[in-house]
Structure 1
Amino acid sequence: MPTAPEATSSPSVLARIRKTPFWVQIVAGLVLGAGLGYLARTAEISWLATTLETVGRIFVQLLKLAVPPLVFTAIVVSVANLRNVTNAARLAVRTLLWFAITSLIAVGIGLGLGLLTNPGEGTDLTTEGLKAPKSSGSWIDFLTGIFPTNVVTAFTEVEVLQIVFLAIVTGAAILKLGSKAEPVLKLSESVLELVQTALWWVIRLSPLGTLGLIGKSVAKYGWDLLEPFATLTVDIYVGCALVLFGVYSLLLRFAAGLNPLNFFKGAWPAIQLAFVSRSSVGTLPVTRRVTERLGVPGEYASFAVPFGATTKMDGCAAIYPSLAAIFVAQVYNIDLGVKDYLLIAFVSVIGSAATAGLTGAIVMLTLTLSTLGLPLEGVGLLLAIDPILDMMRTATNVAGQVVTPIIVAAREGTIDREAYNNPQGALLDEPVTIPAQASAKAPATA
């Protein structure tokens, strides 16, 4: 009896896109966005420019939508899970110590590049008509901004520092109450998994978001905007690259005894996502996953990674403010002395939490400028090119958030070296959901 011929149908366009490696999708979005932005600018196609801006804005809004519940639940769970970590206090102290060490190295590189290249000299930029930011970014503002006056407002206005404070207090209270607070911990773990799953859907839209964000920048500003900021832009990219590929590699090799190449193989998905999303918090689920896949015990990673996503900012809080401060000072013809450079280093290490893992580092910049007594109007000079600078800054931030727990775990002798030496890449081809309770019980394996 004859059988019906087998149905042969070519894969749909959507299926082909899904099979395309994620990094290829990102690069395609980058190139296509730049091309469409250039077309919108040169041909004066207003509807195209508006469309690109809308696509980029929606992508950023979706990332920011996940920030309050993600930051709160991630830190609550990570603090509560310290009860499962041996020598938790020592690990926390060593994590903070390595945060400070790498930040000092990064700010040193930023200051060195600034002094060598003088990014603000000869820029011929006019500062007439520029206004200072509404928030001065003073130390008083920073310190008082940590403590919320209203719990609801902290979440509705996305005051990340206040959310972090509330989460730490809640996690500590759960530790204190023990079994009585178990229902609250279970709820926090469930919400964390839910938010991570929803955020993964947004992450999958990164190629489209990249297209809109890059397209909007090119359509609005064009390439000519970079000319007066060329030295500063190159300095920031070179400085971040030196930290990302140089400093971190040396620390992994000599402080942890690990092969740096394996780090980049395993951590690259998080680094590339940070580059296009410009959000350390938005990248958090992927950052945590690659950290565990590189052999860091799950119970320690569940603390170090969320904590680092809100406080560990070598790009935004070390390299960028040091170079930007020198740039602004030179534009205004203000001389900086040794005391000023020491203040920049101090602000970079102590005030890095001011960036709070969101896109942009304006708060950190205003904090640095106000500490040095530099004109806050200088912030307005840098706003136009901030998205371009923020891509490399955030990639460096996230790389540092992975490197630190790896170094600490290696020096503590708890890292799974077999997993580290055989990274599977943590490809962005499957959902990123990390059950907090499961990851808190045993180290992740590749």
Structure 2
Amino acid sequence: MVVSKSGLVVSATAVMLTAVAVAGAGIHLSSQASFRESPKELIDEVWQIIEKSYVDGTFNQVDWTAVRNEYLNRSYTTDEQAYEAIREMLDQLNDPYTRFMDPEEFKNMQIDTSGELTGVGIQLTQDEESKKLIVISPIEDSPAFDAGVQAQDIILKIDDQSTKDMDINDAVKLIRGPVGTEVTLTIKRGNEEIVVPINRAKIEIHPVRYSTQNSSTGTVGYIRLNTFSANAADEMREAITDLEKQNVSGYILDLRSNPGGLLYASIEIARMWMDQGDIVSTVDRRGELDRQRANNRALTDKPMVVLIDGGSASASEILSGALQDNERALLVGSKSFGKGLVQSVRGVGNGSGLAVTIAKYFTPDGRDINHEGIEPDVKVDLSEAQREELRKERTKIGTLDDPQYAKALEVLNQEIATAQKSQAKTK
């Protein structure tokens, strides 16, 4: 598994994210569509789905019927020609979240949200200027981790193929492969070149990491949620349950650079923190409202602070917005990404996929966060130097050397102290 990341300070540990997932899609997964016999049928199938379900009935001021006529009047001899035509067609909507995925891209997207991957377990980025492929970090307990791959290693070769000027997606294809097969990476570490053979394996991605820290008001639970994958809710439940057994005084939930994921996962997790109140509402182009609420099954009512930043998107904004509007938590950090759109992802044709924006979502107080984002209660912006330091020394994330975390801990201690005084008065 390789994760492609560009420009994120505190990178999510999840998956090889597609454009939709990077933006943090609130994703619904639909069943595989039926096969079709010709490239032109696939184009029409995609057109029909947009016609029936796209969030904007004006199709962003595009004559959608004319688009259909234009593209169905062309001749296509290969699937690849149809794929290119579909992408051109969808580009006219000017919506980066409504997009077509060829069979390989669709397979990768399904892997991304499953929480399980096959590969070596490397988080990979590409330097914008030098185009060098750089390891962000190996995933813990992965084949790459066990083989000794380290953060900041530069990948020079994949097997015998040089990575000079190689596109990161091509590198991903070469590194991924069947379980049990071997890939050899030639890496540069400082001035040394090292040849590292790695056996590919099935890797279970853990979206939740948690720990405890001592503070002036007692033990504090720190939970970092990297993505809203299929196993995120189960792991969050385990983390809260374990931390409650350790009798923590309060919680810091870190959603920084969490690009989102599955919509239902954000709702399930919100219910673990909230006993009552609305979580999110979605509105489609017909104005039909769907509202999700807490269900009196919160696992804790202890004081809570949530960390967000410009990489916190979609499902992260649903969760943080719900906690903020219901006064369940204070938010610390910088303004979130601002993606208030919900995608439906479904199979089309013979193995391809289509992500379609079908609705807008709103916070409990009715805030439309699309393009606006969630503003923190306590604003703490990082300087470029601070971002770079955290990128290079990831072990500092979630410690007192992390300025946003340090402020979150200060705010949480104040909230815990206030709660303890209030409890003392009622006794």
Q: Give your verdict on TM over 0.5.
A: no
Question: TM-score, normalised to structure 2's length?
Answer: 0.24
Question: TM-score, normalised to structure 1's length?
Answer: 0.23
Greater RCO between the two (CA within 8 Å, min separation 6)?
1
Structure with greater strand share of residues: 2
Structure with greater helix share of residues: 1
